[in-house]
Amino acid sequence: MSALTATWFDGRSSRARPGQLSCPAPGTLRLESEGEVLEFATAEIELSPRLGRMPRTLRMPGEGHLQVEDSPLLDQWISGRNKVEGWADWLERRRTAAIGAGVATVLGVVLFFQVGLPWMANKVAPVIPRAMEVQISKQAMAIIDRMHLGPSRLPRERREELQGKFRTLVAGLPRADQFKLDFRDAPKLGPNAFALPDGQVIVTDQLVDLVESDEELLAVLAHEAGHHEHRHGMRRALESSAVVVVAGFLFGDLSGTGSLSVSIPVLLLESNFSRGHEREADQFAFALLKRRGQSPATFGTVMERLSRHHGEKDMGAISYLSSHPASAERIEAARRAAEE
């Protein structure tokens, strides 16, 4: 049992008596001095605070005081607690900090997915090789074709006429040479249009039937061109796959990342553009239409026609054109753009 050297001033005489201080059992201190043995409950002892290497003073009720060489043992004995209890106390006092750290972590993760990830996707999308855009689009198109689409019933001359107008619409845009307009019959989907990450824009025969002028169709195509110029498709695909990757690291399940090249086209089909992307594509369309001498109001007209046709029903996998943000808001934005 370890003991500390002590000097005892018993309070009755002025003599300094040499002694040994030890802790025979938790909660008890024993002082041995010149053949005399005294025991105290640690709870009754007052210990002076530590001051550099100064000896510590212990006041004992009715028995004067002791001067003891400083030692970590003293605090251990007198605080009456073992190491585990000490840790529990330390943690308890820091519980607020721990809760704060937990909340900050959750906020950080949320911020990462809401802000950081889109920001990164925006940085990464422009450096994705063209060949990958083409490959991903080809795979996605194969899936959509199998599930929803058939060959267009439109006469070839009509298709070529609209393709010519589309070329004129996008002429001079930074990615102009990547655009390609194609048509598909889609009785299940109805009137719709969507852009793939490689610049391919698909319009359903049903949309060509629904619109009352080529200008209305061009307004939709201008919106789809906006998605391609802003690389929304690739950004969305990157964001979706980053969720798979990050979730894999966070939760230790990496099974989702093995087939990323296969899963990107599927992710592309399963997620919609964000409201922000839709608004961005709308604004792009308004500006482009104006530059071509066409009123953005035609976009409002065709959106109105579409939402009347589709109603509020969910269009399922490729609801690219409708639904969000609320059509009414987009129609109103088109009207405002026409008046500016």
Catalytic sites, residue numbers = 224
Residue 42 near residue 31 (C-beta atoms within 8 A): no
Burial classification of residue 216, based on how many CB atoms lie within 10 Å of its CB (0-12 exposed, 13-18 middle, 19 or more buried): buried
State the minimum distance, in angstroms, from the CB of residue 277 to Zn ion. Answer: 7
Q: SS3 of 82, please?
A: coil
State the minimum distance, in angstroms, from the CB of residue 278 to Zn ion. Answer: 5
State the minimum distance, in angstroms, from the CB of residue 229 to Zn ion. Answer: 12
Which residue, 75 or 182, has its beta carbon nearer to Zn ion?
182
Which residue, 139 or 192, has its beta carbon nearer to Zn ion?
192
Cα-Cα end-to-end distance for the chain:
91
Size of the site for Zn ion (CB under 5 A): 2
Ordered DSSP codes for 41-77: EGGG-EEPPP-TTPPEEEE-TTS-EEEE---HHHHHH
Which residue, 133 or 278, has its beta carbon nearer to Zn ion?
278
Residue 196 near residue 140 (C-beta atoms within 8 A): yes
Which residue, 63 or 278, has its beta carbon nearer to Zn ion?
278
State the minimum distance, in angstroms, from the CB of residue 87 to Zn ion. Answer: 57
Which of the residues 221 through 280 are near Zn ion (CB under 5 A)? Answer: 278
State the minimum distance, in angstroms, from the CB of residue 120 to Zn ion. Answer: 22
Which residue, 77 or 179, has its beta carbon nearer to Zn ion?
179
Q: Give residues with Cβ within 8 angstroms of 79, minimum separation 6.
A: 86
CA distance 340 to 335: 9
Binding mask 274-293 for Zn ion (x = CB under 5 A): ----x--x------------
Residue 287 near residue 339 (C-beta atoms within 8 A): no
CA distance 69 to 146: 86
Ordered DSSP codes for 141-206: HHHHHHHH-EE--S-HHHHHHHHHHHHHHHTTSTTGGG-EEEEEE-TTT-S-EEE-TTSEEEEEHH
Q: Given the rule CB under 5 A, which residues bind Zn ion?
A: 278, 281
